[in-house]
Structure 1
Amino acid sequence: MGISLQKGQKISLDKEAGSTLTRIVMGLGWDAGQSNKGGFLGGLFGGGGETSIDLDASCLLFDEAGNLVDAVWFRQLTSRDGSIHHTGDNRTGEGAGDDEQIQVNLQAIPGNVKSLVFTVNNYTSQDFSQVANAYCRILNGANNSEIARYDLSCQGNHTAMIMAKVYRHNNEWKMHAIGEVGQGRTFDQLLPQIQPHL
């Protein structure tokens, strides 16, 4: 079990993994929503069924100057250089374990890429307080052991989160847990908010 990340915390991925990391996986999981949370009122207004919740994991690649070089998300499942791959869009959150994964080969990331920023957006626009058991985590891709986890089950009216930045520093990959909430169905709506973290 990895460390539970707090907003703003910085960790060395190599140190947490116990060895030099060559591959990491960002996992995103959540449970299908229940629309009967309104109790009596929910029953009155036809609650009781499942609500469709579609969270989306994205990985954004930035260069030294903070320019967006590439993006891996549900509309582009593999980075142009082939170093990052998204396993596919899950639109319901059904099933156990990670509902979406982004697999990163750190050794194959082009030299001009300084940082990777992982985001989560709710494409169906419910705020995160309505999403059950939502989390994102970083795994060591070599053995699938969890390095770090961020629980998204925050109460609030936000529909997106800038999860973390993984960046090169002195020939080592480090991770900064950003944990900043925002609004937006897709990652591009978060770009102005991401810029100060680059």
Structure 2
Amino acid sequence: MGISLQKGQKISLDKEAGGGLSRIVMGLGWDAATAKKSGMLGGLFGGGGGSSIDLDASCLLFDEQGNQLDAVWFRQLRSRDGSIQHTGDNRTGEGEGDDEQIKVDLSAVPANVKSLVFTVNNYTGQDFSQVANAFCRIVNGANNSEIARYDLSCQGSHNAMVMAKVYRHNNEWKMHAIGETGQGRTFEELLPQIKPHL
């Protein structure tokens, strides 16, 4: 198990991984919260129509000046330079482990990219009170060991979150657990909240 991050915490990914980190995976997992409302349980087992929960992980690439250079999300599963790959859209959160993953080849991220910001949006629109066991985690792509985990608070009326930033600092990659809640079905609606963190 990796380090359990608190909101606002910053860590060195290289140090936590024991050095030489070249590939990471950002994993996102969640379950639909069980509730007594009709339809919610149906959604858990795939028969509830509109009550399934579709969280979407995105990775946004920014330069030193805070300009967005690219975005990896369910409508574009690969960065234009090829260094970041989304494994694909999961629309239910069913099953164990990560429901969505974004794989990053840190050694191939272009030099003009200073920070990668990871967001999660509920495309189906429910707020996070209907989401259970949500987390994001960073895994060492070389050996699948978990470096850090950040549990996403499921209480509240938000349906989106700016999860974390992975950024270059003094020739090493660091991670900042941002954990800022917001509203929006896609990452574009979070951009005004992301800017102050760049």
Query: How many Å separate the matches in 2 of 1:169 and 1:53?
Result: 36
Task: Kindly provide the CA deviation profile for residues 32-88 of structure 1, in whole angstroms up to 9, marking residues without a partner as x.
Answer: 444xx13xxx35xx6642231000000000001000000000000000000000000
User: CA contact under 8 A between 2:55 and 2:121: conserved in structure 1?
Assistant: yes
- Alignment-derived partner of residue 102 in structure 1: 102
SS state at 2:114 partner: strand
Query: How many Å separate the matches in 2 of 1:179 and 1:153?
Result: 8
User: CA contact under 8 A between 1:128 and 1:152: conserved in structure 2?
Assistant: no
Aligned residues: 191
Output the TM-score relative to the length of structure 1. Answer: 0.93
**Unpaired runs of at least 5, structure 2:** 44-50
Task: Kindly provide the CA deviation profile for residues 134-170 of structure 1, in whole angstroms up to 9, marking residues without a partner as x.
Answer: 1111111111111111112431000011111111111
Output the TM-score relative to the length of structure 2. Answer: 0.93
| Matched ranges for 1:1-198 at <5 A | 1-34=1-34, 37-38=35-36, 42=37, 48-50=41-43, 51-198=51-198
Deviating 4+ runs (over 4 angstroms) = none
Query: How many Å separate the matches in 1 of 2:156 and 2:96?
Result: 25
Residue 19 of structure 1: CA displacement?
Answer: 1.6
Query: How many Å separate the matches in 2 of 1:47 and 1:74?
Result: 25
Residue 20 of structure 1: CA displacement?
Answer: 1.7
Cα distance change on mapping 1:78 and 1:48 into 2, 3 Å? closer
User: CA contact under 8 A between 2:166 and 2:175: conserved in structure 1?
Assistant: yes
Query: How many Å separate the matches in 1 of 2:40 and 2:170?
Result: 54
Cα distance change on mapping 1:114 and 1:47 into 2, 3 Å? closer
Query: How many Å separate the matches in 2 of 1:47 and 1:100?
Result: 22
Percent identity among equivalent residues?
82
Give me the CA root mean square deviation.
1.2
User: CA contact under 8 A between 2:32 and 2:130: conserved in structure 1?
Assistant: no
Task: Kindly provide the CA deviation profile for residues 77-109 of structure 1, in whole angstroms up to 9, marking residues without a partner as x.
Answer: 000000000000000111111110000000000
SS state at 1:97 partner: coil
User: CA contact under 8 A between 1:33 and 1:53: conserved in structure 2?
Assistant: no
SS state at 2:190 partner: helix
SS state at 1:188 partner: helix
Query: How many Å separate the matches in 1 of 2:152 and 2:123?
Result: 15
Task: Kindly provide the CA deviation profile for residues 150-198 of structure 1, in whole angstroms up to 9, marking residues without a partner as x.
Answer: 1124310000111111111111111111111111110000000000000
Matched to 2:13, the amino acid is L
Query: How many Å separate the matches in 1 of 2:154 and 2:33?
Result: 15
Query: How many Å separate the matches in 2 of 1:12 and 1:63?
Result: 20
Cα distance change on mapping 1:144 and 1:49 into 2, 3 Å? same
Cα distance change on mapping 1:102 and 1:48 into 2, 3 Å? closer
Matched to 1:177, the amino acid is A
